[in-house]
Structures are given as C-alpha cells and as structure tokens.
Amino acid sequence: MALQLDDGTPVATPSLVVDEAVLDRNLADVARTAAAAGLALRPHVKTHKSLEIARRQRAVGATGITVATLGEAEVFAGAGFDDVFVAYPLWLDGVRARRLVALAERARMRVGVGSLDGARQLLAGVGARPGLSALIEVDSGHHRSGVAPEHAGEVAAALADGGVAVAGVFTFPGHSYAPDGGPAAAADESAALSAAAQALAAAGVDAPVRSGGSTPSLASSDPGTLTEVRPGVYALGDAQQWELGATAPERIALTVLATVVARYPDRLVTDAGSKVLGADRPAWATGFGRLLDHPEARIVALSEHHSTVVGVDAPAGSTLRVVPNHVCNAVNLVDALVVVRAGGGVTTWPVDARGRNQ
Amino acid sequence: MALQLDDGTPVATPSLVVDEAVLDRNLADVARTAAAAGLALRPHVKTHKSLEIARRQRAVGATGITVATLGEAEVFAGAGFDDVFVAYPLWLDGVRARRLVALAERARMRVGVGSLDGARQLLAGVGARPGLSALIEVDSGHHRSGVAPEHAGEVAAALADGGVAVAGVFTFPGHSYAPDGGPAAAADESAALSAAAQALAAAGVDAPVRSGGSTPSLASSDPGTLTEVRPGVYALGDAQQWELGATAPERIALTVLATVVARYPDRLVTDAGSKVLGADRPAWATGFGRLLDHPEARIVALSEHHSTVVGVDAPAGSTLRVVPNHVCNAVNLVDALVVVRAGGGVTTWPVDARGRNQ
C-alpha cells in the first residue's frame, strides 16, 4: 500500500501517521466519560504538541489545556488557548519569570509548585499577578516531584501569605505505568489529593481544584475526590498503553510507517529506529514498540535507524505500521504528522511545539 | 554560574552545551591515531548532524563522511561535502532512488547494500551511475543488518554483473557496546571484513575498501585488515562511552545544562528529561545519564521533563551538567547547540540535519 498525500506525493518512510477517525473517537469518548463523571477535562498537550489536535480536544469539551514547559505554553497561548496549566514545578528565576509574567497577560495561567523552595522562588521572581494561580504538587506514590500531602498546606500558605492565588492541588500518579498499576495508582491519587486538600483547608487556604489523571489510571479516577483530569496519551495511544491494557489496539491512532529494508532468515529490519520511535523501553515492555497489524511480532533491538523484528515475515520493500512505546517522545522527533482523514485523503499537521523544552 | 551568549542572552535550561576545546581535541586525537595506523577516517556525522563539526573533521584529515539517511546526505552534500557514504541498507525504490541519483550527480556517493534483495533493488531502482558505488554490509556479530561474510561475494557479484561499481565491504561492530566489548568486537570485525573481502575476490570482484569502526572498538581496530574507520560518538562523547571506559570524562565535549527544579530529602529533580537527553538506557548502564561534575551521582528515573538524581546534593535553582547516555539521540532533539568557545565567549551552532530520518 503506497500512502500518498492529496497532491500525489508519496509518504516517505519512516513517517508518523495519524488515523483521524481513531483520534476523533478517542477524543470524544474520553470527553464524554469525563463529563459523565463530572470531571473537568484538561488534556496534556505534550503528547501531540499540535494546535489542530488541541482545538479538537477543546471542541469536544476540554475546559483548558495542560503543558509541561513555558515554551509549550507560549505556542498554545499564542494560538488563542486562554486557560493553560503548566503542570510542572517551574523554577521561576530571571527569563523564566519574565516569560510567565508575559504569558499571564494573555492567558489564564496556572503553574505547578512542588516544594517550599519553589513557592519562595515564585514569590520572589513573579509574585502575585492577575491571571496567575498556583497548584500545589503532591506526591501520590510516583516519587518524582511534589510534596507529601501533609506538607501541601504550608506550601499553599506561603504562597497565599504572599498574595499569590492558590487554585488547588495536583498530582501525577505515574506509578500507574506498571502492569495492573492503574486502579492502585488511582486510589493513591484520590487519597493524596484528599489529604492535600484537607491540609490546605487546615492552613486556611480555600482552593477548589483537585487535579489528577494519567491515561492508565483514567478509568479508575475517583470523581468523589478529583475535580479534573489531565490525561495526554489517550488521544493517540501507544504500545505502553496497549501492553498495560489501557488502550485496545484498535484505539491506537498513531503509527510509524516503516519500510522493511532487509529480510534475513530469522528477522526483519525496518527503517524505524530510535530517532523516530524514541528509545523508551520500560522493564515490563515486551520490546521497543509493537506492530499494529502483527501483535505476535516483537521488536527485539533498536538502533537509531533500524528496528529488528522477529515473529513475523514480510517482503523486503514492504511497509509495516510500528506502534512506538511512548508516543509523546515519538511525536517530538518529527516536524509534521501525516494524517489519514476519516473522509478520505491524506494531509499533514505540523507538530507546532516540537522541541519546546525550555 | 550563569552561562550567557555573547549578546548577553542567558542560556536557558535545558540546553545542549558543547565545549569547543574538548571537541577539537577529540577530533585531532582520533584523526592523528587513524593516520598513524594508516586508516582512512570517515566520521559518522549522525552523531552531531552539524556542518560546522563536520568541517572541522574534514580540516583535520577526514577523507569523507558517513551518514545514515538520504536526508542527512542531502544536507551535507548540499553544503559541499563531496564524498558521502550512506552506511545503511537503503531500500532504493521510487522517490528514494531518484534522490540517490540526484545526490550522485553532485557528490561521490557510496551506499550500503545489506542483502541480495537490496542489491536487486539497487539495480532495478538506480542501476549503474557515475559517482555511485556500493559497499556490501557484513554482519560481524551485532546481528542487525548485513550478510554473513561468506555471502558477501554473491551480493557483490550481482551488483558487478549489473554494472554497479562495488567499492568494498563494511560492517558495524555494534556488539562493542557492552562492558569490555571493544577488543572482542574489533577482532570479530577484522575477521568478518577479511572473510568478506576474500569472498569478493573469489567471486571475481576487485574492491579495496574494508570499512569498520565504532567508538568503543576504535582503539582495537585492526589496521592489518581495515582500510577505513567510521566512528561517530568520539567527537562529543557520552555516558555510554564513559561507562564502557571508551571515553574519559574529561573527553566528554557535550553536556546538557539543567536546572535543579526541586530538592527533596532523598533526591534532586532537574529539568533535563527524556525530551532532551533521549531515553536510551542499555541494560549495563548505571542510570539514564551521568553528571559530569558528580561521578558519584546517579540518575535513577527519567520522565519527559524530569530527571531524578540521587547521590549528590545541590540547591534548588542551581545548574548541573548532565551527560546523556547516547549523544546521537540527544543532539537530534534540539535545533541548536550552545558552544563554549575555546578562546572565550559563547555562541550557537545549528543542528543542520536534525530530524532528517528519511
């Protein structure tokens, strides 16, 4: 199957290809589920870095967006997204502080604060601003960033004493990324956010938002505690979600179109390597990605421009659809996504915020 | 230490920072060693994707360059590099064939052929061209692409019978990427290239080039068999090379400048995550990268915008120099390198071939 753009240009390999129909179904389904549970949906756009996809998320009901960096915030706020949460413990000195001030003049900005140090730096570097509020990050078991729930009150109080608006608390239950980890991580998430909200109340800080959510834990999110969820990967899907059971293969909207460049008796070699798939490989993964149309196959080795595939045969020169392990890192490796439209035809969408790490 | 560009702009974090003095020393030393051994040096520019660095490699004696993709070849040939080896088993159909034909009109092009299928496709898609020659890829123990040495003759003969110039044989001894793997991989490389060259001679194909070389095996390259080496990482160094003992830390020319965004009792969190370091983590690595100035520290977890560091303390807001595990993938994540010049001052160099996967 030779994939061609509408103008007749053949799609070269390796390319990241999005199935619009699957994407739109994913966006609509999660929006519907969140609405039914009474949860605000604030998708993490670091997954796709695409204005087009974010607009579709907004169209089906997202109340705002989540980003990881000021650079991503600038791209999306610059395109009219007016409610942006930087769910990251930013260190707000110098240029970063000035960039946040400028952002808060054009969009309603929320920023993460993950420590007392971070709160003091926000106060020193930025201070109280109209349009700016803080969410206190709590550690719900992933042990990356955030304070213990019982310490959330003192961080919030430090900000509030300095006049900075505190909107609530948030966590990323990243320990959901383990086999059968979703429900337990969601329970931890609920407990941590609940305890943190109580700590804020005890410190005299009245703040309504309790924000959580990761794609593997999403189905188990506790609407009795959470007020909002911030999933990202659900839009496109990836092999991690497939292997965790969080996404069925027919819900995977993004694959890497790859050419079989060589066929040996025991293996195939394709041109989709780590420079287009990313090199993520959690310990529990069965390989460096999967083949969407050959679930029995395994990618047993990965170089920058080679993936070594066993368990399937295909002629040299044929194409395969490879599912990256971690779609967020794969998208960040290309300037544009090839999009197979639901109504027919093939177009491209830019990866507007590619490389905006700062 | 606040790093600033010459125009006074502070260098934001995370940024990839190159130490020009270390880089130039690496380039000169390997060029000198190769020359002393009588080996042609054809550096793999996929490591840095930088015209500036490739020009420096040429200035100290590189006889040509190695690339992995036609896209990289187009960037470098377009900038005047006139001897380019695509060390990859290209599948030369359609647009790819036409691109190679166009390249061969402006530069002396060598391409890899890793199977009889690939040879037949080259004959069908491109055929004999002035300025184009093929190198037969042999598997020396990495078991990725390439034919067994004893089959190199039939692949070469198929090409030669079709009028395509065969320049020789090549291999990538990638199994050198293991603790103490360099010398054994270099011995395998020598044996495989020698056997392949004999197979070509037996098939009546007279071809002088025997090309090998990876950075970990470089010091053990056999000048009795090899005619040329193609190391890449040696220019910049990385944590893999450091941990393999192939590069001393003072020879590491590229680090990621990162900010400590949060400090907890048991760990630091920096803003250098997998979207700037890459996610490579071989089984034998001690973590997801290293800290150049704190060899005792370990990066125990990596998210897209967080690295979790233990074994060192530093204040929140301070900066650390993080060494990526695999520099080739790190460089490909940014549009420009920040360069601390040997003579003082700080500038930037573009990553000219970033993202050129096709």
Please give the pLDDT value at position A324: 98
**First CA to last CA distance, chain A:** 40
| Lookup: tokens for B225 | 């068999």
Picking from B220, B222, B112, the residue whose alpha carbon sits closest to that of residue B169 is B112
Q: What is the pLDDT of residues A221-230, one digit of tens each?
A: 999 999 999 9
**Interface-testing mutation among A70, A175, A230, A261, with chain B (most B C-beta atoms within 10 A):** A261
A342 pLDDT above the threshold of 60: yes
Sign, CA dihedral A289-A295-A298-A304, equals negative
Give the nearest chain B residue to A139 (CA atoms). B264
Does the beta carbon of B13 lie under 8 angstroms from any beta carbon of chain A? yes
B199-258 tens-digit pLDDT: 999 999 999 999 998 899 999 999 999 999 999 999 999 999 999 999 999 999 999 999
Judging contacts by C-beta atoms under 8 Å, the chain B residues touching residue A12 are 95-96, 358
Q: What is the full DSSP assignment across B99-116?
A: HHHHHHTTSEEEEEE-SH
CB contact under 8 A, A274 and B276: no
ipTM over 0.95: yes
Pick the more confident residue, B180 or A253.
A253
Bridge partners for A16 per DSSP: A256
Q: Looking at the predicted structure, is the pLDDT value of residue A325 above 80?
A: yes
| A91 with B308: Cβ contact below 8 A | no
Q: In this complex, is the C-beta atom of B333 within 8 Å of any C-beta atom belonging to chain A?
A: yes
Nearest to B115 among A145, A262, A334 (CB): A262
Residue among A153, A155, A260, A234 nearest A196 (CA):
A153
**DSSP character at residue A91:** -
> Structure tokens of A84?
């942006």
Give me the mean pLDDT over the A235-244 stretch. Answer: 97
Residue type, B276: V
Rounded to an integer, the average pLDDT of A279-294 is: 97
In whole angstroms, what is the distance from residue A331 CA to residue A256 CA? 10
Res. B2 pLDDT band, cuts 50 70 90: confident
- Supply the mean pLDDT for chain A: 97
Side chain identity at residue A286, one-letter code: T
For helices A51-59 and A70-78, the axis angle rounded to 10 degrees is 70
What average pLDDT does this structure show over A120-125?
98
Q: Label residue B186 by pLDDT band (50, 70, 90).
A: very high
Taking the Cβ of residue B318 and every Cβ of chain A, the question of whether any pair is shorter than 8 Å is answered with no
pLDDT of A65-84, one tens digit each? Answer: 999 999 999 999 999 999 99
Q: What is the pLDDT of residues A178-193, one digit of tens each?
A: 999 999 999 999 999 9
Name the band, by pLDDT with cuts 50, 70 and 90, for residue B1: low
Encoding tokens for residue A55? 């607009």
Please name the residues in contact with B192: beta carbons below 8 A apart, sequence gap of 6 or more.
B138, B139, B140, B141, B149, B171
Q: Kindly determine whether residue A144 and residue B46, on different chains, have CB atoms separated by under 8 Å.
A: no
List of chain B residues whose C-beta atoms are within 8 Å of the C-beta of residue A262? 89, 114-115, 117-118, 145
Is the pLDDT at A2 greater than 90? The verdict is no
- Distance, in Å, from the CA atom of B26 to the CA atom of B131, rounded to the nearest integer, reads 31
Q: Is the pLDDT of residue A346 over 90?
A: yes
Q: How far apart are CA A27 and CA A40, in angstroms?
A: 14
B355 in contact with chain A, both atoms CB, cutoff 8 A: yes
In this complex, the residue of B117, B264, B305 whose CB is nearest that of residue A263 is B117
Cα Rg of chain A (Å, integer): 21
List the single residue in A with minimal CA-CA distance to B137. Answer: A262
pLDDT at A102: 98
Per-residue confidence (pLDDT) for residue A1, from 0 to 100: 53
Partners of A134 in beta bridges: A111, A166
Strands (E), A265-323: 267-270, 290-291, 298-302, 307-310, 319-323
Residue A128 CB neighbour total at 10 angstroms: 14
A89–B269 C-beta distance less than 8 A = yes
Q: Where are the beta strands (DSSP E) in chain A?
A: 15-19, 40-41, 65-67, 83-89, 108-113, 132-137, 165-170, 209-212, 228-229, 254-264, 267-270, 290-291, 298-302, 307-310, 319-323, 336-340, 346-350
Of A91, A117, A317, the CB nearest to B93: A317
Residue B305 touches chain A, beta carbons under 8 Å: yes
For residue A9, give the DSSP letter: P
Q: Which residues, at least 6 apart from B119, have a Cβ–Cβ distance to it below 8 Å? A: B113, B134, B155, B158, B159
Tell me what percent of the residues of chain A surpass a pLDDT of 70. Answer: 100
